[in-house]
Amino acid sequence: MANVKIDPSWQELLNEEFEKPYFNQLTAFVREAYQTHMVFPPAANIFRAFDSCPADRLKVVIIGQDPYHNVGQANGLCFSVAAGTQFPPSLQNILKEVSDDTGAPYPETGELDRWAEQGVLMLNSVLTVQAHTPTSHAGKGWEEFTDAVVRTIAQRKNHVVYMLWGSYAQRKAAAVDPAENCILTAPHPSPLSAFRGFFGCKHFSRANEYLVSTGQTPIVW
């Protein structure tokens, strides 16, 4: 991860984490992986979720599992794809729910930078993946790092909306105080589970209702 920098607001919050032995081991693993295999997202985008949503703007946290593993998909924001890329099924279902819930038109691009720029941290639990090999970088240290990210947010900031889709994401919020934040849970938006309660969850309008109730600006989904 040499030459990869993270937004200064997050650098300050996570500096201690970057100094821990597990993170040094993770860095060595990731550096070697990029040198010897095709790995996604592009190295410069590993920390893009943080760079696109500085800590002082944070309002909403969406947690994914690991990056898309096919060529040209992963761009550093969970569930998002680069402009011009065909929408993966989970993203199709997310955008369908946005449209059904809020009345927003179904977008032409799956690039979700517009959400991040409004204060949505779009964080995968594992930040890198080998091409065509899902979860290949699981268990290497990323989960410990992203657990620490969520824990740090929970310790320092209240009135945050957490959108947690599927049991994997829901476990991530163990450190979050539900009395001081808004925790929205639903099945994962993948085609295997979206019809079990993701469709109709109305998380996007519910998130905005909570943000307004706590004096914050709603997200234009």
Q: Is 17 helix (H, G, I), strand (E, B) or coil?
A: helix
The residue type found at 96 is K
Nearest-10 crossing angle of helices 21-36, 142-156: 130
Q: Distance between CA 192 and CA 215 in Å, rounded? A: 37
User: Which listed residue (7, 51, 66, 101) is catalytic?
Assistant: 66
Q: Are 10 and 55 within 8 A, CB to CB? A: yes
Q: Is 177 a catalytic residue?
A: no
Dihedral angle of Cα 124, 214, 98, 93, to the nearest 10 degrees: 30
List, in sequence order, every beta strand (DSSP E) within the chain.
39-40, 60-64, 120-124, 129-130, 161-165, 182-186
Contacts 24+ apart (CB under 8 A), 104-108: 104/220, 104/221
Residue 132: burial class (beta carbons within 10 Å; 0-12, 13-18, 19+): exposed
Of the candidates 189, 194, 219, the one whose C-alpha atom is nearest the C-alpha of residue 207 is: 219
Residues with catalytic roles: 66
